[in-house]
Amino acid sequence: MSPNVLTLLPEIILTLTGVIIMLAEPLLPATSSRKPLGWLAILGTLAAGLASWYQTGFGTMHSFFGTIQVDSFSIFFHLLIAAIVLVTLLSSLDYFEGHATHAGEYFALTLFGATGMMLMTCSVELLMVFIGLEISSISTYIMAGFRKGQASATEASIKYFLLGSFATAFFLYGIALAFGSTGSTRIDSISLGLTTTATPTLALLSLGLIIIGIGFKVSAAPFHVWTPDVYQGAPAPVVGLMSTAPKAAAFAVLLRILFSGYPSYEPRWAALIWVLAVLSMTVGNLGALMQRDVKRMLAYSSIAHAGYLLVAYTAFPADGIASACFYTAAYAAMNVGAFTAITQIAGYQERARTIDDYTALALKRPVLAAVLGFFLLSLIGIPFTGGFFGKFYVFSAALHAGRVWLAVIGLLNSGIACFYYLRLLAALYSRPVTENDRVDAHTTVTVPAAIALTLTAVATLLLGIAPNRILGIAQHSADVTVHPNPAQPGADATTTSASR
Amino acid sequence: MNIDYSILTIITFVPLAGAVLLALLPDRGRIQQWGALLVTLITFVCTLHLPSHFDYTAPAGSFQFQENLSWIASPSIRYHVGVDGLSMWLVVLTGLLAPLGVLISWKAIDNRRKLFYILFLLQQVAMLGIFVSLDLFLYYAFWELSLVPMALLIATFGRTENRRRAAIKFFLYAFIPSAILLVGMLWLYARTGTFDYPQLAALAATHDISSSPTALWLASLAFLIAFLVKVPAFPLHGWLPDAVSEAPTAAVMVIAGKLGLYSILRFSFGIFPGQSHRIAPLMLALGAIGIIYGALMALVQKDLKRLAAYGTLGHVSVVILGIFAFTVSGIDGGIYQTLNEGIGGGALFMLLGLLYERYRTYDMREYGGLAARLPWIVTMFVLTSLSVTGLPMLNGFVGEFLVFSGTMQSTVANHTGWTVLATASVILTASYMLWMIQRVFYGDLSRRSAQIDAMDLTAREHLALWPLIALFLFMGIASPVWMRAIDIAGANIATTVNRSQAVTVNMDASTRNGPATPETALASTKGTR
């Protein structure tokens, strides 16, 4: 029995820490600082990360009646999620200080959300995935509206909740149809059931519904409409979390479902993903061009990045996983970093909103501006940053799979994308026409936030200079997740014909 | 261990170390300037190691001072650097222009010095990296990196309110074609399994990259267009006037010309020799049109910097004309002219910067009759414009003469007409330069010139200008010193391209009869993965 429990050790640690924080919250006097609870949450996250690391010794292991599978793929995402949550907690430790007395709930909710996300990545049973998805979604719904009393925060929360529940319903419906068609909700059984099913149309429909459900979670176009409003209204550290960790988990689920659940339907879903990827990149980038609000702009940019990531999925089988994993990690590092910097610049009241508010930040807070600039360069995809190698691997995987046009569209899109990042970057470094009073030169970056910024910046830089190690881990997780098709020569044939 | 193996790494990364050092030093007094000057001087001294230890007997097409280490295992990316006759003098030139750039910015940059010199040094790293990289990926990394410091320099230290727009325009113009260049590179990698330039060039020479002419054409265009934008060649020069008129002097000195021209000579000609030869008639036309267009546009400018920008367009077009003639003297002249452009253009922009520091305007109508007050500046100005217009005994003459005679002997279609046109337009270059001198320095003393009592050259400015002026003369008289290395590279490029042309014709004939050539490149891709 004991190894069974060990497979869920990180989730258990996080849940327990969250519960303790929830219990401790009302015991603390209403006026006292909630920071100790934050530190407790950080400790819990660290412990969960260590527990995931400890799981590497297990190899591939199933438990809980085959619903949970711990392998290097799940551990990769566990560690990634733990890292994102850790940085988010560090950056928001002082965020609520003096503004909200319910900060304890925030820390607990973050941990519960992380539990759900982690559960998603190690489940190989669709209903289990659904449970994880719900756990993570519900906590993010609440966190989106955490700046209570602000209309935009409430709007964000309600919008996210309504549309999110709708999308989850699609996902659930997809699971039901998959069960109806193949007789199982276990991913590996689905893949077997597909070969003998009497209702392939139903199976295809189930796949379509599942893709819609996950497409919403990763904010891929055309399921992206909620993103800008929610990102604009939610607190900046929450957006940093929301735009990376649940997305990473959802992408991991999508990888598992597509690559090991429906591999035989590859030609059909690859076409679907192709369309989603192109739409997301284009809609995201064109949308971002129009924005003056920095958070909205980054919301559209996250749609575009979901599109780049989806490009990797068309590179079936093994190249795709490794590059998608790498991209997720790189995107997480730079985006969480960017939002951490924005949290520090704008503060709880979000005084600096539009691009113009960031004008001449480099004069007042040179280090912070340099760090934000570095993350923006990484988002553009300038060499020697994680963002560059992310794009590089994704598009080289696509080209290797013979998707030349997808790569061309994607890279042209990254050309468009550089325009809006650059606008912000140029604003940071240009002299103001009139005195810019939106950014405060006197506030200093707190120590935990400085640690968070350093961690993300170093991670972004390392991913850009020495990507070998992370890519090796990603490659390894790809190898265990998917038992590649025996039809290897077929894949090469597409390379030859399509690249002409 | 011999220093030859690591000298290029030292040259490339000394400025980076310098930038980190400056970031740690406070922005107080003249610390930043002296620091930057010291770093750039050290770099320059290191670059001088290259010509003094260059092996002129090495076989053509080989690289020297190579360092080749594994960087990333999969995809196989190596840290491979090396120089040959083509890149060696460009590295030295880049090394030389940097300390001069620091000297010329000494007073012009009066606030946020720290940021300026850090960006300046990073720009230096990127440029040196471009010239020494022999791994396509490494090269691309430096290529993209070179955009960032320049765009930030323009955005931060631009002259007018237009600076933000100019910076973004500069960046977009260069970045979007670079994205397509990346597709081309990744495609090459998917075919061959390597980013290593010498290997790719060898594969190209034996026609082993791909048997599909369409794919090769598209890839070669992806490369060429990205490079032509950076040069910039007519009609892709839209970013040049804005960027030049905004950017601070030290940045303008390196903004155009050598990076793009070097890349065409190295990568377009090396990896796609057949395609380059096929497109040569078009490029000759663009070159010739660019010379005339640049000169005509320069004639009508009222802003001194815009005039110099269009002048630059004309000068780089001369190089385009020369290198696409595919004769040894055309390519040699092109490379020589690339160096000249760096020196002459650098000197011209420095002098304009000096005038601006004194009179706070680039508007030519505000000037007039300065010759009597600023004897040294006018002397330097005249010398520079004589060099740029190609007066015999000065460096411009050597380059232009080689280019035009090389183009005349070319076998590319329509070469005679374009050469005649281009050669005739030298007169236009002379006219806008001399007319500018006449308007700025002679004639009646203008009101602004009369009001402002400006000093002639200071010792620091003398120090910044004299090396370039001396080079005008030396490179005009003792051109063999430079030509020796250039000629090895130039002859090699000409042979490669012309040979590929000869073989391509045969191949076309043979493929029409025989079966299609098998995909050997794909087989090797499979093997390596």
Q: What is residue A94's DSSP assignment? A: T
User: Per-residue pLDDT for B529 more than 60?
Assistant: no
Q: Which of A463-467, B307-311, B401-405 has the lowest mean pLDDT?
A: A463-467
Using CA atoms, how far apart are residues B128 and B119, in angstroms rounded to an integer? Answer: 14
Mean of per-residue pLDDT scores for chain B: 86
Residue B232, sorted as left (phi over 0), alpha (psi -120 to 50) or beta, turns out to be beta
Please tell me what DSSP assigns to residue B267: I
If you search the block for the tokens 């068309």, which residue do you land on?
A314
In which band, very low, low, confident or very high, does the pLDDT at A316 lie, cut at 50, 70 and 90?
A: confident
Interface of A with B (CB under 8 A): 362-363, 366, 377, 380, 382-384, 388, 392, 395-396, 399-400, 404, 407-408, 411-412, 414-416, 418-419, 422-423, 425-427, 429-431, 433, 466-468, 471-472, 475, 492, 495-496, 499-500
What would the mean pLDDT of A122-127 be, rounded to a whole number?
A: 91
Q: Which of A396, A403, A436, A473 to mutate to test the interface with B (most CBs of B within 10 A)?
A: A396
Nearest to A41 by CA among A106, A98, A96, A102: A106
pLDDT above 80: residue B128: yes
Please state, in angstroms and rounded to a whole number, the distance separating the CA atoms of residues A409 and A2: 51
Which of chain B's residues have a Cβ under 8 Å away from the Cβ of A423? Answer: 164, 168
Q: Output the 3-class SS for A308-352.
A: HHHHHHCCCCHHHHHHHHHHHHHHHHHHHHHHHHHHHHHCCCCCC
Mean of pLDDT values over B274-287: 90
As a whole number, mean pLDDT of residues B16-42 equals 89
- For residue B514, the model assigns a pLDDT of 41
- What tens digit of pLDDT does each residue of B219-232 get? 999 999 999 999 88
Listed range (A28-37, B143-152, B234-243, B428-437) with the worst mean pLDDT: A28-37
**Mean of pLDDT values over A411-425:** 88
| Per-residue pLDDT tens over the stretch A254-264 | 988 998 888 88
Confidence at residue A419, expressed as pLDDT on a 0 to 100 scale: 86
Of the candidates B176, B177, B205, B179, which has an alpha carbon nearest to the alpha carbon of residue B192? B205
How far does the CA of residue B137 sit from the closest CA of chain A (Å)?
Answer: 10
Partners of B77 in beta bridges: B72
State the SS3 of B309-354: HHHHHHHHHHHHHHHCCCCHHHHHHHHHHHHHHHHHHHHHHHHHHH
Give Dmax over CA atoms of chain B in angstroms: 81
The answer to whether B145 contacts chain A (CB < 8 Å) is yes
Give me the pLDDT at residue A486, please.
34
Residues B288 and B254: beta-carbon distance below 8 Å: no
pLDDT, position A95: 82
Contacts of A27-36 with CB under 8 Å at 24 or more apart are: A28/A104, A30/A101, A31/A101, A33/A97, A34/A96, A34/A97, A34/A101, A34/A103, A34/A104, A34/A107, A35/A93, A35/A94, A35/A97
**Which of chain A's residues have a Cβ under 8 Å away from the Cβ of B152?**
425-426, 429
Cα atoms found within 13 Å of the Cα of residue A107, Cβ hemisphere only: 38
Question: Residues of chain A with pLDDT > 90: what percent?
Answer: 42
If you count them, how many residues does chain A have?
A: 500
The model's confidence at residue B361, banded by pLDDT at 50, 70 and 90, is confident
Q: How confident is the model at residue A318 (pLDDT cuts 50, 70, 90)?
A: low
Residue A196: predicted pLDDT: 84
- Cβ pair A382:B75 closer than 8 A: no
- Do A418 and A305 form a contact (C-beta atoms < 8 A)? no
Gap between the terminal Cα atoms of chain B: 34
Bridge partners of A123, per DSSP, are A68
Q: What pLDDT was estimated at residue A78? A: 93
Predicted pLDDT of residue A297? 92
Q: What pLDDT score was predicted for residue A492? A: 34
pLDDT given for residue B504 in this prediction: 53
Q: Which of A362, A423, A467 sits opposite B168 (nearest CB)?
A: A423
Question: Do B117 and B102 form a contact (C-beta atoms < 8 A)?
Answer: yes
Helices (H), B264-303: 269-271, 273-299
Percentage, residues of chain A above pLDDT 70: 92
pLDDT band at A435 (very low <50, low <70, confident <90, very high): low
Instruction: Report the range out of A47-61, A257-271, A274-288, B57-71 with the highest average pLDDT.
Output: A274-288
Parent domain of B431: 3-528
User: In sequence order, what DSSP letters do the residues of A237-304 get, joined into one string?
Assistant: HHHHHHTTHHHHHHHHHHHIIIIIISGGGHHHHHHHHHHHHHHHHHHHHHHHHT--BHHHHHHHHHHH
pLDDT at A85: 95
Q: pLDDT at residue B367 above 60?
A: yes
DSSP secondary-structure letter at B421?
H
What does the pLDDT average to over A321-333? 91
Question: Helices in A123-225 by DSSP H: which ranges?
Answer: 126-144, 151-182, 187-196, 200-217
How many Å apart are CA B436 and CA B138, to the nearest integer? 42
* Cα–Cα dist B294/B310, whole Å: 5
Write the ipTM. 0.82
The answer, yes or no, to whether residue B125 has pLDDT greater than 90, is yes
Which residues of chain A lie closer than 8 angstroms to B115, CB-CB?
362, 366, 429
Number of domains in chain B: 1
Q: What is the pLDDT of residue A471?
A: 82
For residue A361, give how far its alpha carbon lies from the nearest alpha carbon of chain B (Å).
12
Residues 63-82, chain B, touching A (beta carbon < 8 A): 72-75
Q: Which two tokens stand for residue B102?
A: 């620091």
- At A441 the pLDDT is 65
Instruction: Please enumerate in sequence order all residues whose Cβ is within 8 A of that of B18, keeping only pairs 6 or more positions apart, or say none.
Output: B35, B36, B38, B39, B40, B42, B43, B121
pTM of the model: 0.87
Highest mean pLDDT out of A360-364, A478-482, B320-324: B320-324
Average pLDDT over residues B116-133: 93
Whether pLDDT at B317 is above 60: yes
Q: What is the mean pLDDT of residues B482-490?
A: 89
Q: Is A65 helix (H, G, I), strand (E, B) or coil?
A: coil
Q: What is the pLDDT of residue A490?
A: 33
Averaged confidence pLDDT in chain A: 86
Tens of pLDDT along A274-308?
999 999 999 999 999 888 899 999 999 999 999 99
Q: Give the integer Cα–Cα distance in Å for B528 and A319.
A: 15
Give Cβ neighbours of residue B345 (< 8 Å, ≥ 6 apart). B253, B256, B257, B308, B311, B312, B315, B388
pLDDT at A39: 92
pLDDT tens across B499-519, in order?
877 655 555 444 444 444 433
Residue reference for tokens 């004589």? B386
Nearest to A415 among B158, B175, B186 (CB): B175
Q: Which residue of B has its CA nearest to A361?
A: B156
How far does A489 lie from chain B, in Å, by closest CA? 10
Query: ∠ CA(B248), CA(B252), CA(B258), 5° rounding?
Result: 160
DSSP symbols for B37-69: HHHHHHHHHHHHHHHHT--TTSPTT--EEEEEE
